[in-house]
Amino acid sequence: MTHTYMRPVPPRFTWALTAVTFLVATNLCCATTAVADDGPSVPPGTEATASAPVELDRNDPDLKLPEGATLAEPKVLDIKTVVEDQSGDERREDTNSDVTFALQAEVLFGKDSAKLGAEAKARIVTIAGEIKTQNATKVRVFGFTDNLGSSAHGDVLSRRRANAVQAILGQELSDANITYEVRGYGEQYPIADNSTEAGRKKNRRVEITFPRTAS
């Protein structure tokens, strides 16, 4: 894994890290404005990947290229840029194919609530501007919680929060060509340790993902 700094980002963000990684391309089919939670889709970055490569003996003579053989054409690796503001309230991930914004629940909602505050709406409007810039026509809005309380409650709350975020995006974008996939995953797919409050805070989030279509 190689760490490096990438291009400048919006002022309120600070550079976090850039990692080179293989990603599996995923095509989503969204038939309606808000898709039900009974499909197979998973959050970006959690798709199944190929099994780990087999360890090879570099001295094995069978690994040498036969006479006259050539190497395959080089492949361009997907570059993943992760940018997080100093407070950790907002994170942006860019790959060659997708853009993902993750907003912590505390900056969007009150405790155990799905009602958006004024600051939250301003942040979502900014993301809507990026969706316009990328000319994206498919947007995924996924809600997540920590593991406190019942799993069923977390599923419902995370879906209600995702619905609230999607509603603002829909109002701001006002584009009939954009389809939305809205899901609530509850405590599934944590990105931090749920045994600490700092970790649980990161897990309580809403992620907005859309294809990168502009250079």
pLDDT in tens, 105-132: 988 999 999 999 888 999 999 999 999 9
Are 165 and 139 within 8 A, CB to CB? no
Could you give the CA distance from residue 20 to residue 78 in angstroms, rounded to a whole number? 6
Task: Spell out the residues 6+ positions from residue 29 whose beta carbon is closer than 8 angstroms to its own.
Answer: none
Mean pLDDT of the chain: 79
pTM beyond cutoff 0.85: no
Of the listed ranges 23-37, 97-111, 180-194, the one predicted with least confidence: 23-37
Task: Spell out the residues 6+ positions from residue 203 whose beta carbon is closer than 8 angstroms to its own.
Answer: 144, 145, 146, 147, 187, 190, 191, 192, 194
Check residue 25 and give its pLDDT.
Answer: 36
Local structure of 31: helix, strand or coil? coil
- Which residues of the chain form beta strands (DSSP E)? 14-21, 78-84, 90-94, 98-104, 138-144, 179-184, 205-211
- Give the burial class of 17: count Cβ atoms within 10 A of its Cβ; 0-12 exposed, 13-18 middle, 19 or more buried: middle
Closest to 141 (Cα-Cα) out of 213, 191, 209: 209
Are 16 and 163 within 8 A, CB to CB? no
Check residue 32 and give its pLDDT.
Answer: 41
Could you give the CA distance from residue 199 to residue 102 in angstroms, rounded to a whole number? 14
Could you give the CA distance from residue 208 to residue 99 in angstroms, rounded to a whole number? 8
Tell me the per-residue pLDDT of 51-71, one tens digit each, with 9 for 90 and over.
556 676 777 777 777 777 777
